[in-house]
Amino acid sequence: MAIFNYVIKIIISVCSIIGYKGESLAAPLLVTCLKKMEYRGYDSVGIGTINDGKVSVRKGVGRVEDVDSNLLLRVLPGRIGIGHTRWATHGKVTEKNAHPHTSCNGEIAVVHNGIIQNYSELKSKLMRKGHIFRSETDSEVIAHLLEEDYVSSGDLRGAVLNTAKKLTGAFSFIAAFSDGTIAGARFDEPLIVGISNDGYYISSDVIGFLNYTDRAIFLDNRDIVILKGSEMEMISFDGAPVMRPVTQVAWEFGGIDKGTYAHYTIKEINEQVETIFKSGKGQEDKIEQVSELLKSAPFVYFTGSGTSYHCALVAKALLSKYGRRKSDAIMSSEFQYLVNDIEPDPVIVAISQSGETADVLEVVKKAKPLGSKIISIVNVPTSSLARLSDISISMNCGPEIGVAATKSFTSQLTILYAIIDRLSGGVIGLENQRTKLQNAVKELVEGQKLIEQIANEIKNAKDIYVLGRSIHYPIALEGALKIKELSYVHAEGIPAGELKHGPLALIDKNSCVLVLNPNDSTFDDVKANAHEIKARGASLIGIGSSPSDVYDRFIAIPEVDEVLLPILEVIPFQVIAYYLALEKNANPDYPRNLAKSVTVK
Ligand code: AGP
């Protein structure tokens, strides 16, 4: 128990690591693999290969493509190698801090994902023994620890074991040795072995090697894999052999091409015409099981981070209105501190596109031993969250590469609608309306021209406010999140009814306000709020089905049953945020300072 408590307190980071050993040249393969994984973190990149008993490393700051064209990563010789894309946590974004890091004798190169909590203590000890450190990272200690042990014992396997056991925190690392051995170790960060016809991959993400093989072994915590000669050995941190099954991974996870689109983000926004239609289909059994569980649960908690948390807020409102069940929606970064005080025997519905978000995992890891049932809704069925869950439903919306969640949000929402519809005896009537919903999504994504114009008109706004009431308030939050992360404009979602309780003080002729004004019970109250804003001279954009003079611009939401409106209302915000990013010359796929999977607490 002491160990468990310790493990869940760690902080982890967001990089990608990959290793290859086989018959093909390693460097060009690794460059391709890293490009696939770049969406997870992307401030610097590096590759190390082994050839004729010599370790060669090239690394630099920037995107894989740029570093490769400047430094010619792909020409490094050898059929054995490791690679890394970095999203800085310890140490600035510099060439020196980029991975791989090497031992003093240059015979061991290491790539690492995670955070080594005890690195400064280990570093001091190693420095006292004469090791010279060349970076500011925590990761570099791994190379020196391996060297220290290996040089004195001559036992490579023992050196990997001892090193893994000395590290605290969360990590997965891959080490390449000049004798041609590659070893990987995993503790609280994912590590997966890919088995192809011409060799082995070791990777933090199946997407890395999925172009080459769909046969994967998901290592467990405290597993080590050693590729020596043509043999693969798997052991645990205590040295005992372990057996892990080979899984066939769905090929569709490899389909991450932009096609004819300028950016992944706009491709993924457009894909919603299909993904919303498909969400939950083929998983009716699980939807039934989950709805039964929610029905009988003493209490239900919905949790998630960022966009997934906004989905949790909608789910709570739906469950209360249509399912008449008590529930709460708590953001995972806060929930983790409350887990010991929650209602007994609850069902926790954890929502996460990646299934690797540290905050969400921490809630689940804390709540599970206390008797909570864990349901997850994820887009990566092989993710840590899916594997920790009692039941996991897949969003099945295909890889989402754009850092901003778009199609995953509408997919997770649709699945929750399906569950609550089932639980409430079909009062929502989702299935009868799927085609109508799909046509409405189509109409919205085809109406991008108007939204592009609106984005151009509001591009100089310093602050954007998004207003909504009731079930539309979470969409206001999500709309504001999209705007801030893609365009870097300050945006805030505000419950329209709270306006007079404070935020109205911010409104003047320079403000830009987007108002969710659907034709439901909130209509008149929201319209009254719109008039109050208009009276202060702000520019107003309405989003709903009944245009009004109060709005300078109006984005029409196609007619569907009012319960389904949140699924549609978010789409104009995704499109506005995308075009605002273009207006600001920002790359919508890779917003500054953000990474797709936030495995940092
Ligand atoms: C969404 O646009 C954000 N990039 C972010 O808020 C994201 O939704 C959050 O980090 C949660 O990610 P997850 O769904 O993979 O757990």
Most informative mutation of 302, 303, 307, 571 for ligand 1 (most atoms within 8 A of CB): 307
Query: Mean of the per-residue pLDDT values for the chain?
Result: 92
Judge if 97 and 148 occupy the same domain: yes
Judge if 237 and 159 occupy the same domain: yes
pTM for this structure?
0.74
Judge if 223 and 330 occupy the same domain: no
Closest atom of ligand 1 to CA, residue 304: 16
Residue 598 confidence (pLDDT) above 90:
no
* C-alpha to C-alpha distance for 37 and 24, rounded to whole angstroms: 20
Judge if 558 and 528 occupy the same domain: yes
- What's the confidence (pLDDT) of residue 154? 97
Q: Mean of the pLDDT values across residues 266-272?
A: 95
Choose among 288, 301, 402: nearest CA to 349: 301
Q: Mean of the pLDDT values across residues 508-519?
A: 95
Q: Do the domain assignments include residue 542? A: yes
- What's the confidence (pLDDT) of residue 5? 29
Q: Do the domain assignments include residue 499? A: yes
Judge if 453 and 436 occupy the same domain: no
- What's the confidence (pLDDT) of residue 251? 52
Q: Do the domain assignments include residue 2? A: no
Q: Which of 393, 425, 446 is at the close of a domain?
A: 446
Q: How many folded domains does the chain comprise?
A: 3
Judge if 21 and 70 occupy the same domain: yes
Six token digits for residue 562: 């009012």
CATH number of domain containing 533: 3.40.50.10490
Judge if 100 and 225 occupy the same domain: yes
Judge if 400 and 490 occupy the same domain: no
User: Which domain does 21 fall in, by range?
Assistant: 11-253
Choice between 405 and 595, residue whose per-residue pLDDT is larger: 405
Q: Do the domain assignments include residue 3? A: no
The tally of CA atoms less than 13 A away on the side-chain side of residue 493 is 23
Choose among 23, 399, 21: nearest CA to 198: 23
Share of the chain above pLDDT 70, in %: 95
Q: Do the domain assignments include residue 477? A: yes
Q: Do the domain assignments include residue 436? A: yes
Strand partners, 224: 185, 235
- Lowest-confidence range among 1-10, 97-106, 571-580? 1-10
Residues with CB under 6 A from ligand 1: 305-308, 352-354, 357, 360, 403-405, 481, 485, 597-598
Judge if 326 and 370 occupy the same domain: yes
Q: Which of 229, 253, 277 is at the close of a domain?
A: 253
Q: Do the domain assignments include residue 527? A: yes
Residues catalogued as catalytic: 15, 596
Q: Which of 193, 224, 253 is at the close of a domain?
A: 253
Q: Mean of the pLDDT values across residues 125-138?
A: 97
Quick: pLDDT tens for 49-69: 999 999 999 999 999 999 999
Most informative mutation of 207, 357, 589 for ligand 1 (most atoms within 8 A of CB): 357
Q: Mean of the pLDDT values across residues 68-90?
A: 93
Judge if 490 and 405 occupy the same domain: no
Q: Using the mean position of ligand 1's atoms as its centre, give its distance from the Cα of residue 598 in Å.
A: 7
User: SS3 for 259-324, per residue?
Assistant: CCCCCHHHHHHHCHHHHHHHCCCCCHHHHHHHHHHHHHCCCEEEEECHHHHHHHHHHHHHHHHHCC
CB 322 within 8 A of CB 424: yes
* C-alpha to C-alpha distance for 71 and 46, rounded to whole angstroms: 10
Q: Using the mean position of ligand 1's atoms as its centre, give its distance from the Cα of residue 404 in Å.
A: 7
Quick: pLDDT tens for 166-208: 999 989 999 999 999 999 999 988 899 999 999 999 999 888 9
Closest atom of ligand 1 to CA, residue 307: 8
